[in-house]
Structure 1
Amino acid sequence: MPSVASATPAYRSSPGPLHAILLGGSVSLFLGAMLSDIAYYQTHQIQWSNFASWLNAAGMVFCGVALAFALVNLLRARQKGGQPLTYFVVLLAAFVLGLFTAFQHAKDAWAIMPAALVMSIIVLILILAAAWIGLSARTGGAE
């Protein structure tokens, strides 16, 4: 029989609906940025680079607010290590790399390629991992 401690989530209070919306928004915005970078790489139309830059900036806003929620949840968690810490660190990594991606997109025209595309792919992978970890904490890790 499982103990009560293993059945309860590590968070003192699970991430709320706004936190989940911010994570979902971050995923979709960073996905759009990556797809725009792919389109720019294939078509050489500068507007795709502009789209990617704006989508990345919006993803950074959503990710930054979600990061603030994650920090509060980490500080309130009974268990500071494990899932709450992993979630915070992965989300922080996505935010920091997203910031470097924004700096990369600030370059002129084709100078952003291929680094912007590679960085967008890595940011998307990180934000997907963060969303997976964060939303599985919402359900207590039980599938």
Structure 2
Amino acid sequence: MNSLVVPHRSTLANAVYGLLNPLPFGFFVAALIFDITYVRTAGVLWNKGAAWLIVFGLLLAVIPRFVNLAQVWITSRHIARRADRLDFWLNLFAIVAAIFNAFVHSRDAYAVVPAGVWLSACTVVLLAIAHLVMAVQRSAAEEYVHE
């Protein structure tokens, strides 16, 4: 008797991923807004606020990446779609850009400009593309199920 066992993803891991995955995007968007405000006003508060937002975004981005790493590349690699892998890489590149951005924001005062703004924008664009890819995948999967 040869039965094919279809691998499935953990419900708990999916819940943790679904809960924590959107949070870093919000922090990084807020950091970009703070960076743009800092460029226009030169108020040091905006620079320091952006630095803290980037740190919190990075802290919250690590856990969903580990869950995604396990689901896409280790446990469910046979059922992982191309969009899942693209989402993983886009998020990973965004995290690397945010790490460099955190180092840039450790500089003093106006030395953050323009590198901090560009790295914040790069992080937000990468995460936005990743979210769009996953939204398109979910939409296509729902259309396939409903037909």
Aligning the two structures, in what range does the TM-score lie when normalised by the shorter sequence? Answer: 0.7 to 0.9
Q: Which residue of 1 aligns with 2:41?
A: 43
Q: Which residue of 1 aligns with 2:94?
A: 94
Contact 1:33–1:120 (CA<8 Å) still a contact in 2?
yes
In structure 1, what is the Cα distance between the partners aligned to 2:115 and 2:68?
Answer: 29
In structure 2, what is the Cα distance between the partners aligned to 1:115 and 1:67?
Answer: 25
Contact 1:19–1:69 (CA<8 Å) still a contact in 2?
yes
Q: Which residue of 2 aligns with 1:118?
A: 118
In structure 2, what is the Cα distance between the partners aligned to 1:136 and 1:61?
Answer: 27
Q: Which residue of 2 aligns with 1:53?
A: 51
Identity of aligned residues (%): 24
In structure 1, what is the Cα distance between the partners aligned to 2:129 and 2:57?
Answer: 15
Q: Runs (4+) of structure 1 moved beyond 6 Å?
A: none
Distance 1:71-1:21 versus aligned 2 partners, 3 A rule = same
Distance 1:62-1:138 versus aligned 2 partners, 3 A rule = farther
In structure 2, what is the Cα distance between the partners aligned to 1:101 and 1:22?
Answer: 21
Q: TM-score scaled to structure 2, two decimals? A: 0.80
Matched, 1:13 2:12: no
Number of residue equivalences: 133
Structure 2 gap segments, 5+ residues each = 1-6
Which secondary structure state, in structure 2, belongs to the residue aligned with residue 59 of structure 1?
helix
Matched, 1:24 2:15: no
Q: TM-score scaled to structure 1, two decimals? A: 0.82
Q: Which residue of 1 aligns with 2:128?
A: 128
Q: Which residue of 2 aligns with 1:106?
A: 106
Deviation string for 1:34-90 (max 9, x for gaps)? 000011001000010000000000110111111111101112221456122211111
Larger RCO, structure (CA 8 Å, separation 6 or more)? 1
Return the letter of the residue paired with 2:48.
N
Structure 1 gap segments, 5+ residues each = 1-10
